[in-house]
Copies of this chain bind each other. A is one copy, B any other.
Amino acid sequence: MRRVAIVGAAMTKFGEDWERGFRDLIAEAGVKAIDDANMSGKEIDAIYGGTMAAGRLIGQEHITALIADYMGLNPIPATRVEAACASGGVALRTGYLAVGSGLHDIVVVGGVEKMTDVPVGDAAVALGGAGDQEWELFMGATFPALYAFIARRHMHEFGTTEEQMAMVAVKNHSNASKNPYAHFQNVISVRDVMKSKKVASPLKLYDCSPITDGAAALILAPLEKARKYTDTPIEIIASSQASDTLALHHRKSLTTLNATVEAARKAYNMAGVKPNDIDVCEVHDCFTIAEIIAYEDLGFVKKGKGGRAIEDGETALDGRIPVNTSGGLKGCGHPVGATGVKQAVEITWQLRGEAKSRQVKGAEIGLTHNVGGSGATCVVSIMRRAD
């Protein structure tokens, strides 16, 4: 495998974007990423795009052909990948492998979702297709319900509290308020979360990531050629993907995502780093409990100690290991297919030292953690500032 670097990164402002369509979002993110890499576009050999449910949300499949077309990049190969909420992470890994294997030199990795063109109930049902449609969604188990099971069990096994979950939302809104691209710009309190409407007990509205429109894009290149395009290449030193049962009820444990554990183990091995070496991290906080479990499954704390970690401020912007400096899915928003790519955009900015008021000082190694469904897919990637 050749060494691979991120040489361009961009995203749209995340939010409820009533003024623009899917095509506007991908064009903006793609063109900005190409600009960021000081390219004209002619250098690009292939596109890998992540989208979850464009068929149901905008009536359009064949999404990456559309992206190639609207970016003026025909006839290069354009491949869509999909793994529910991990679609962006899988696109990143697939693009990384395409460059690493020597198949392509310059690759665009894109992620996008336009979610507000349908009523929110329809979006929730579309998202339910990330889990087991026949045995979960059809029975009424939407995603808040599935993660409520997980949360309830984590509380039972480890004494995790609703207040600790609330603290995840508070931290992520605080980080989002420092990120001009974030969906939410408002800071909130534990009290705000606790008194917000119950969605699926113990999860309340502010424990849930929102329905968001947005796109993000990266340009990848072989590390040896990266300085042609940027002074600050960010090397991808590992990217690993694992799978688990689609349905939650088939798992041995509700409180650990085996796909995260597997993907993280391989990624740490591949990168030759340990959890303690990670300076900054974006994890998949589709619900606040998911972030707490990610701390544990990624090895930042021991199993069961995730609630304590947020309470102790370990993952705050000035903590031992800052998590979700972008605001995460909760604060920055969760345009499903874009999320895994946006995580890598944030880590790129952090490792370049461009994250302004949310900059983690001296960050050299970063990690992204992108989960599909209730954990049937997980992608963990590790990046390092190239010397």
Contacts and interface: CB of A to CB of B under 8 A. Distances in A.
A126 interface: yes
A63 B69 CA distance: 26
Interface residues of A, number: 66
Interface in A224-277: 240-247, 250, 258-259, 262
Interface string A68-88: 110001111111111110000
B83 A82 contact: no
A336 B203 CA distance: 40
B246 A69 contact: yes
A341 interface: no
Nearest to A102: B101
A376 interface: yes
Interface string A127-150: 011111110011000000000000
Interface in A41-75: 52-56, 58-66, 68-69, 73-75
A123 to B, nearest CB: 12
A3 to B, nearest CB: 15
A64 B64 CA distance: 18
A325 interface: no
Nearest to A52: B61
Given A80-B83, A243-B75, A129 B65 contact: no
B82 A243 contact: no
B377 A250 contact: no
14 contacts: A53-B55, A62-B83, A62-B246, A65-B83, A65-B84, A65-B244, A66-B132, A66-B246, A69-B376, A78-B83, A78-B243, A80-B81, A80-B83, A100-B101
Given A53-B55, A69-B244, A80-B81, 13 more contacts: A21-B134, A55-B129, A58-B133, A59-B133, A61-B129, A65-B83, A65-B84, A65-B246, A66-B132, A74-B243, A74-B245, A94-B94, A101-B102
